Amino acid sequence: MASGFFAILDDIAFLMDDVAMATKVATRKTAAILGDDLAVNAEKATGFLSERELPVLWSITKGSLLNKLIIVPLALLLNAFLPSAITFVLILGGLYLAYEGVEKVVEYFFPHETKEHSVKKDDEPLSEEAAGDYEKGKVKTAVMTDFILSIEIVIIALGSVAGQDLGVQILTVSAVALLATVGVYGIVALIVRMDDAGFRLIKKSDNKGFFSWLGHTLVKALPMMIRVLGAVGTVALILVSGGIFAHNIEYFHHLFPELPATVKEFGIGLVVGLAAVILVTIFKKLFVKAKH
């Protein structure tokens, strides 16, 4: 009886060791996507009143966890019974990311007449109802983008343990998915609260000495960091989408082999995203005409 119990413990120890090694490899392979995820979501989790930043971020985090709960079982099932469907889902996700990234670029150079309102700290506050609608819109967009990036993260993690036992696959992919959510949104929370930490340092130091200087630096650095992360997040959307197309569509995979992979993937994402933006714009105009 005792020997059987210790044998089970030994098997569990070997399994966890395999999972730890597989998780390390999978995390390394998904590091680039995790970086993109951080840049994209840091940009989407900003632009709110100070007291609403963490509640909004928590709403996005809960949405991200729900995404993982949906994606991980589906990815494992599809990988077991219909692996070709994973490629189809990835390509659809790539189209969404390319569209969103290029739309931001187009909006930057050709802004719409009616721009989206913001409730940033330095703006005049909106009404409670308008602010609530703005928050819901931002959360919905952030969760949708997280869903697409999560698919990429889970698929890459699953591919890194394709030859392992089912138990190792399940535990590894689940661990990577959980680390992605906790790690990414934990860092995002630190970023969006930089200015509040700076104000507290300034107040506690009576605006004198090193801590006062550090507080002022944090306050001044946040807007710059958000702008940089916004730009990086937009580039990341286009780059990740281009990578999806290049790795999963044979034509794009062999296109321009002499170009560096990053340049090729960004170019593919940009072209496909631009085509998607044009088609969606035409469709919207036709829909408006038909409605009138």
pLDDT in tens, 230-280: 787 788 788 888 888 888 888 888 888 888 888 998 999 999 999 999 999
Q: What is the mean pLDDT of residues 113-126?
A: 48
| pLDDT at residue 9 in the model | 43
Per-residue b/e over 90-118, b at no fewer than 16 CB within 10 Å? beebbbbbbbbbbbbbbeeeeeeeeeeeb
pLDDT at 69 over 70: yes
Contact partners, residue 87, CB within 8 Å, separation at least 6? 248
What pTM was estimated for this model as a whole?
Answer: 0.67
Q: Retrieve residue 169's tokens.
A: 């696959």
Name the percent of the chain lying above pLDDT 70.
76
129-132, long-range: CB < 8 A, 24+ apart? 131/49, 131/52
In whole angstroms, give the CA distance from residue 263 to residue 268: 9
Q: Who wins on pLDDT, 130 or 8?
A: 130
Under 8 Å between Cβ of 267 and 242: yes
Q: Retrieve residue 213's tokens.
A: 């200087």
pLDDT at 115 over 50: no
Choice among 20-29, 72-81, 271-280 with the minimum mean pLDDT: 20-29
Name the percent of the chain lying above pLDDT 90.
8
pLDDT at 8 over 60: no
| pLDDT at residue 26 in the model | 61
pLDDT at 114 over 50: no
Choice among 73-82, 125-134, 173-182, 200-209 with the minimum mean pLDDT: 125-134
- For 58, which DSSP code? H
- Of 139, 118, 122, 116, give the one whose Cα is nearest residue 219: 122
Contact partners, residue 183, CB within 8 Å, separation at least 6? 34
| Interval 210-219: pLDDT, tens | 888 888 888 8
Under 8 Å between Cβ of 119 and 134: yes
In whole angstroms, give the CA distance from residue 202 to residue 208: 8
In whole angstroms, give the CA distance from residue 134 to residue 142: 12
In whole angstroms, give the CA distance from residue 269 to residue 252: 11
In whole angstroms, give the CA distance from residue 197 to residue 180: 25
| pLDDT at residue 117 in the model | 45
In whole angstroms, give the CA distance from residue 74 to residue 137: 26
| pLDDT at residue 231 in the model | 80
| pLDDT at residue 143 in the model | 86
